[in-house]
Amino acid sequence: MPLLTDTIATPQHAPRKMHGTGRRLRRRALACAAAAAGLTLTLAGCAQVDTTAPSTVRAEAAHGAPAKFGTVDCRKAKCIALTFDAGPSENSARLLDILKEKKVPATFFLLGKRHIEKYPELVKRMAAEGHEVASHTWDHKILTKISDKEIREELNRPNEAIEKLTGHKPTLMRPPQGRTDSNVHEICKELGLAEVLWSVTAKDYTTNDSALITQRVLDQSSRDGIILLHDIYPGTVPAVPGIIDALKQRGYVFVTVPQLLAPGKAEPGKVYRP
């Protein structure tokens, strides 16, 4: 499969095929104008994107109905979320063993083609062991470069496959390479999906050195962080025990992405990043 990258790319202005009546181009222009107006931003796709931090979600929810925090109150605890993209893979069973031994929940953003369809029992196990199972699209197509019809297919197919295996339809997705725009947001809202980016990356697609992967994560980690790793690469899973142990020693509590937002919830069509 093609190399996966967690680099959020800068704008690409090469000519591209237009779909429909040019609505996507107009929506993209509006998104750029909104960005220029001073929203909280992160680079993604060809535009800058407004994102919402976990602390903001928690604070807004606290003003509403009586709070329900689940197992951890991340207003008080030093929470961090461990996430894995592009699985399941031949390494996922070992990863699940480690997470079970360490009593750490994770969020898995799964690919459909050659992954969910190849390792359905691992998808079931992820859900059964308390991990959050989410989508990373069906075939890792860059959503900002394809038609609306293709975007819906990329998002619907893994959702349907995951729901069939686990009984639960995903509410979270991570766009390949973090590339997203206002059009993707609209389609995600239509499909009941929120987008989740990250604040910590080990760039584990560039190295099999587990010690280096560990150090990169530790150097970037902070409260409310969302760690991006890929369990498809050989150096990543061996790094996980050391990452967990070191962050626990620093006082971190590992949570899933939904738990990081509690008592708030991810809203379809919005993008979340610390």
Residues labelled as active-site residues:
85, 230
**DSSP letter assigned to residue 233:** S
Query: How many C-beta atoms lie closer than 10 Å to residue 130's C-beta?
Result: 14
Which run of H or of E encompasses 50?
strand 47-50
Residue 33: alpha-carbon gap to chain centroid? 26
- Chain position carrying tokens 């496959």: 161
Phi, psi (deg, nearest 5) at residue 84? -130, 130
Contact present, 209 and 235 (Cβ < 8 Å) = yes
Q: Is 201 helix (H, G, I), strand (E, B) or coil?
A: strand
Nearest to residue 228, comparing CAs of 195, 246, 201, 206? 201
What region does 192 belong to: left with phi over 0, alpha with psi -120 to 50, or beta? left
According to DSSP, the residues that pair with 82 across neighbouring strands are 227
Q: Which residues contact 18 (CB under 8 A, 6 or more apart)?
A: 24, 25
Q: Is 46 helix (H, G, I), strand (E, B) or coil?
A: coil
